[in-house]
Amino acid sequence: MWLRNSLYSIAYLNLLVSHLGAIYCLVVGISFNAALYLLVTYIVRMLATTVFFHRFISHKSFCPANRWVTYIGCFIACSAGQMGPSWWKVHHLNHHKYTDTNEDPHSPIAPHKGIIGLLYAEFAWVLVPKYAYPDELPIDIENDPILKLMDRLHFIPSLSLAYLSLLMGGMDFFLALCLSTTLLFHSNGFLNSIGHLYGKQDFMTKNSSRNNSFVAVLTLGDGWHNSHHAFPKSARHGYQVRHGRIAKVPDPTFWLIQLMGKLKLCHSIIEYSDDFLETKIKQK
């Protein structure tokens, strides 16, 4: 336990360096190439997080073709600097299980409300010891020796990417990576904070989740959070209700899962019919 917690602590050092680098980056600026690098590292790592950590590891909304697809996807997701598969899954499933209660790891309305609640859900919850160092981890991930190792050594992919950035473009690319990592952390934070405070509630969910198009853009589809809470196992989150009917809205994460399906990199993609989705439309 001591070793595991010490290894988890490294993520906080990573986040601190990324935030300081991001501030420095905004002060001194970066080249056009570094800005492109920032964009690419943001999109690739966001998609790895949403496709693998969220829609596969946490919700099993599709099935990768083999273990290597899972390992490569999770390795890239780890490079986002938001811990590994076991840590990510345990908190995310607890969020679904205990949404809006004091047991919810990152609710903007419990235990705190208002601006404090918003900041708590956005980032401060990761500083609470019981969440930083969870007692229990998901059995299925812990039973896979490679995923378990990846969870404990979650910092290796992000350190490798930092080293690669320095090799490719020196300090310019390193600062771009710091800003990219910081934006990734806060975009996912927006999902927890804004995604439960502002936006439309298209479906009946018995919780505060919202469909927020701004967060959906930042998270490449995960911001359709009310739809996700209504249908957690659906590989597609991009649904809204317009004039009482289901409307499919942009969900790049789902597009990637569809592409992976076409390339035979995954199968058993869970999608529901409009008739089924309509049974949960929130009546005005």
Q: Cβ closer to Zn ion: 18 or 208? A: 208
Site for Zn ion in 234-263 (CB under 5 A): none
Tell me how far CA of residue 252 lies from CA of 47, 215, 235, 258, 259, in angstroms: 8, 13, 11, 10, 10
Specify the stretch interacting with Zn ion by CB under 5 A; choose among 41-49, 179-187, 201-209, 253-261: 201-209
Of the candidates 95, 25, 31, the residue with the CA atom closest to the CA atom of residue 58: 95
Q: How far is the CB of 96 from Zn ion (least distance, A)?
A: 6
Q: Cβ closer to Zn ion: 7 or 63? A: 63
Site for Zn ion in 203-232 (CB under 5 A): 209
Q: How far is the CB of 226 from Zn ion (least distance, A)?
A: 9
Q: How far is the CB of 129 from Zn ion (least distance, A)?
A: 22
Rounded distance between C-alpha atoms, residue 158 and residue 83, angstroms: 10
Burial of 183 (0-12, 13-18, 19+ CB in 10 A): middle
**Torsions phi, psi for 247 (to 5 deg):** -120, 130
Tokens linked to 279: 């049974």
Contact 61, 165 (CB under 8 A): no
Rounded distance between C-alpha atoms, residue 154 and residue 75, angstroms: 8
Tell me how far CA of residue 67 lies from CA of 13, 63, 81, 239, 276, in angstroms: 30, 10, 22, 30, 32
Q: Cβ closer to Zn ion: 25 or 109? A: 109
Q: Cβ closer to Zn ion: 110 or 164? A: 110
DSSP-derived 3-state class of residue 64: strand
Q: Cβ closer to Zn ion: 180 or 205? A: 205
Task: Decide the pairing of beta strands 245-248 and 266-267.
Answer: unpaired
Q: How far is the CB of 34 from Zn ion (least distance, A)?
A: 33
Q: Cβ closer to Zn ion: 193 or 209? A: 209
Rounded distance between C-alpha atoms, residue 139 and residue 85, angstroms: 11
Q: Cβ closer to Zn ion: 113 or 245? A: 113
Q: Cβ closer to Zn ion: 165 or 226? A: 226
Q: How far is the CB of 151 from Zn ion (least distance, A)?
A: 18
53 C-beta neighbours (distance < 10 Å), count: 24
Tell me the residue number closest to Zn ion, measured at CB: 209
Q: How far is the CB of 142 from Zn ion (least distance, A)?
A: 20
Q: How far is the CB of 202 from Zn ion (least distance, A)?
A: 14
Residues that contact Zn ion, how many (by CB under 5 A): 1
Q: How far is the CB of 178 from Zn ion (least distance, A)?
A: 27
Contacts with Zn ion, residue ranges (CB under 5 A)? 209
